[in-house]
Structure 1
Amino acid sequence: MRRTVLPVIAASLLVPLLAACGAEDGDGGPQAGRKTGTTEITVLAAASLTDVFEAAGAAYEKEHPGTEVAFSFNGSQELASQVRQGVPADALVTADTKTMDGLRENTGDPVVIARNRLTVATSKGNPERIGGLEDLSRDGLKVVLAAPEVPVGRYSQKILDGAGVKVKPVSQEPNVRAVLSKVELGEADAGLVYVTDAAAAGGKVTTVAVPDAQNAVASYPAAVLDGSEHSEEASDFVRWLASPKAQKLLRDAGFQAP
């Protein structure tokens, strides 16, 4: 059974209370449902990895019956903040090398496990007939982007600047999934998201490709956190992400080779 942890800051505050309840309730405690003798590692991962890492976690646990993997997904900038605050976790995977490089004092040596590109996501059927980046500057068009401190937000601004396109977004979101959600819900006509997130949305959005010459390449580095209490198991998981099994899952989800 896959499990995604709650935002780890809030979750960490609940540990003492849950532990006390577990001591009193016996079989109903927090360990209920966890296999005896297993080690749980917590992986902080970029929001754009949500779907593929759920599948990867299940595959990893099947191959490593002594380890369970719990994920906390968020924008890379928020994950970095959690690491600096000392939130308990074992490994980190960001959607850019800049964020990871800023955490060198908190991590082991990172390894890039995948790459990604951006696409324009529009409302289903593309009712505004958006044909490319240049159309995002049209008057009256509601465009949503990720905030500039978010990796996908920086990539978005980079390709818009490169194309000479000026966009005044109706909102700037904290992660790529929030951008995608605005488009899915009809709160925006278009947004710039990763190719993999648009694919995960299925038929809820329509995509308009960004030519390679205008696009940006997002790199996903993974590293073990120095504060990990399960560094051996975390190292095994990070190494596994480069294995043929994990790489196939990433390719199938639309990610590119590292």
Structure 2
Amino acid sequence: MRRLRSALGAVVAGCTVVGALALAGCSSGDGGASGQGSGTGGGDRTLVVFAAASLTDTFTTIAHRFEQDHAGVTVKLSFAGSSDLVAQLQEGAPADVFASADEPNMTKLTDAGLAAGDPVPFATNVLTIVTPPDDPAGITSFQDLAKPDAKVVVCAPQVPCGNATKEVEAATGVTIKPVSEESQVTDVLAKVTSGEADAGLVYVTDAQGALAKDSSSLKQIEFPEASKAVNTYPIVAVKDSEHAELASEFVAAVTSAAGQKVLKDAGFGAP
């Protein structure tokens, strides 16, 4: 995206948050944050952050730090596929910050006039193959995902991880015939770890996160063709946010040295 900037003027002195609520998808009402901010005025302000599902662990950490550093602030995190989140924003869903897993979905937001300023790239990610620990289909390469008897799960084409899958297929000439296409990358991972699928394509960060929690939960198979589709993650404050200054500070927290370390530790690449 040509309008992306690699630097953000605002500087945040720290980034902390206690009690951030990670939600599966956009929510309102009963699913809201409970106001467990630091200081005596917890819940005085609620910052709503829409973020790609692959950012669940890292943004929860960054949000925890941000909230601790901003007395009276509760960060309400809503995670889903980037395309779903953009659609919700276009339909009027209230949010203060949007972080996409790719640039095309961010372009939809900016083209709709819903971004407050230029989006800032903050991370990159690539795909990897995951299988159950016993690898029932004998997957050792990207080409093996085209085996007729392999039950493969991928992301839907409109989702960033699905679009990346299509790009790798086009670059390699390999055609995968998945048994299902999921609306977010975490659903692909769940079907593999539960044994419902023989293999799936997820981001490196999702695989590393799952293995960090349980090293026996799956098998990861890296493949060189993944470099054919590198997703850049941009973030922006949403136009007409009720907490514009706070939204800008959250963006700055993500792009700060501390935020970048959280992302790097999780396996994300530099923007």
Q: Which residue pairs with 2:56 in the alignment?
A: 50
Q: What SS does the corresponding residue of 1:128 show, helix, strand or coil?
A: coil
Tell me: CA distance 1:84–1:165, structure 2 relative to 1, closer, same or farther (3 Å): same
Shift in Å, 1:247: 0.4
**Distance in structure 1 (CA, Å) of the matches to 2:205 and 2:224:** 16
Shift in Å, 1:59: 1.5
Question: Does residue 36 of structure 1 match 2:41?
Answer: yes
**Distance in structure 1 (CA, Å) of the matches to 2:192 and 2:255:** 33
The counterpart of 1:189, out of the listed 194, 198, 202, is 198
Q: Which residue pairs with 2:180 in the alignment?
A: 171
The counterpart of 2:107, out of the listed 90, 101, 105, is 101
Q: Deviations over 1:82-115 (max 9, x none)?
A: 1101111100000000000111110021000111
Q: Check whether the contact 1:163–1:214 (CA below 8 A) recurs between aligned residues.
A: no
**Distance in structure 1 (CA, Å) of the matches to 2:127 and 2:36:** 39
**Distance in structure 2 (CA, Å) of the matches to 1:178 and 1:4:** 15
Give the TM-score, by structure 1 length. 0.88
Q: Give runs of ≥4 in structure 1 deviating > 2 Å.
A: 4-9, 30-35, 62-68, 125-129, 212-215
Amino acid across the alignment from 2:157: P
Q: Deviations over 1:211-241 (max 9, x none)?
A: 1575411111000000210010001110121
**Distance in structure 1 (CA, Å) of the matches to 2:183 and 2:23:** 19
Q: What SS does the corresponding residue of 1:89 show, helix, strand or coil?
A: coil
Question: Does residue 256 of structure 1 match 2:269?
Answer: yes
Q: Report % sequence identity.
A: 40
Q: Which residue pairs with 1:157 in the alignment?
A: 166
**Distance in structure 1 (CA, Å) of the matches to 2:226 and 2:182:** 26
Tell me: CA distance 1:31–1:155, structure 2 relative to 1, closer, same or farther (3 Å): closer
Shift in Å, 1:68: 2.4
Question: Does residue 218 of structure 1 match 2:231?
Answer: yes
Tell me: CA distance 1:120–1:213, structure 2 relative to 1, closer, same or farther (3 Å): closer
- The two structures, once aligned, show a CA RMSD in angstroms of 2.0
Q: Check whether the contact 1:67–1:233 (CA below 8 A) recurs between aligned residues.
A: no
Q: Which residue pairs with 1:232 in the alignment?
A: 245
Amino acid across the alignment from 1:142: K
Q: Which residue pairs with 1:112 in the alignment?
A: 121
Whose Rg is larger? 1
Q: What SS does the corresponding residue of 2:177 show, helix, strand or coil?
A: coil
